[in-house]
């Protein structure tokens, strides 16, 4: 008897084959699972445009998710259909009710407030916050830095495999 792979294992294999990040893998698997559970564990092959629209609308109306979250769920489902199941939905024109864009007024600290934050942080946390602020690093980028990525001679920090998949160097220290 042939050993059949489960759908989510196939999804994981396809994501790894395409060299997506582990966080993308976890996110896609999560949303695909939610989509399947939403439709009472119906196999995605038996579903299509109508079910996708229902699910995405439900996310916006009932769950009140942010637009970015709804887009993330949609991208996950599109990946499932196109890359795993071999079903191209690009001509389906899926029109789900879109999540409401929230208006946020950005909070910006003054230079004095930033300096007070630095003064009240000690140890490794001060280093992390200083690197994030001074070099514009993401948390994941600063946490994956190695000593050899910091060049004190040229005041540079090298960031490898960043979220944008571009290696870069930052030259701004606080």
Sequence spans of domains, the chain: 7-84, 111-170
Q: How confident is the model at residue 87 (pLDDT cuts 50, 70, 90)?
A: confident
- Topology (CATH level 3) of domain 7-84: DNA polymerase; domain 1 (1.10.150)
Strand partners, 170: 157
Strand partners, 158: 169
Per the model's pLDDT, the better-predicted residue between 51 and 163 turns out to be 51
Percent of the chain scoring above 90 in pLDDT: 39
Helix (H) or strand (E) holding 150: strand 150-151
Helix (H) or strand (E) holding 167: none
Q: Helix, strand, coil % (nearest 5) of the chain?
A: 55, 5, 40
Per the model's pLDDT, the better-predicted residue between 56 and 165 turns out to be 56
121-148 pLDDT, tens digit per residue, is 999 898 888 888 888 888 888 888 888 8
Taking the C-alpha atoms of residue 115 and residue 138, their distance in angstroms, rounded to an integer, is 20
Taking the C-alpha atoms of residue 161 and residue 159, their distance in angstroms, rounded to an integer, is 7
Per the model's pLDDT, the better-predicted residue between 101 and 55 turns out to be 55
Task: Determine the pLDDT at residue 170.
Answer: 60
pTM: 0.61
């Amino acid at each position: 008897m042939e050993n059949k792979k489960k759908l989510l294992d196939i999804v994981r294999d396809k994501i790894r084959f395409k060299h997506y990040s582990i966080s993308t893998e976890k996110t896609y698997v999560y949303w695909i699972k939610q989509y399947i559970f939403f439709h009472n564990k119906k196999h995605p092959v038996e579903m299509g445009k109508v079910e996708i629209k229902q699910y995405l609308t439900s996310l916006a109306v009932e769950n009140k998710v942010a637009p970015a979250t709804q887009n993330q769920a949609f991208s996950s489902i599109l990946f499932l259909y196109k890359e795993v199941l071999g079903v191209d939905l690009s001509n389906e024109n899926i029109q789900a009710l879109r999540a409401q864009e929230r208006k946020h007024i950005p909070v910006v600290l003054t230079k004095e407030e930033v300096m007070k934050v630095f003064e009240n942080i000690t140890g490794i946390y001060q280093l992390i916050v200083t690197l994030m602020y001074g070099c514009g690093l993401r948390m994941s980028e600063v946490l994956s830095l190695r000593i050899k990525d910091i060049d004190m001679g040229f005041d540079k920090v090298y960031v490898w495999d960043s979220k944008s998949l571009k290696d870069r160097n930052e030259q701004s220290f606080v």
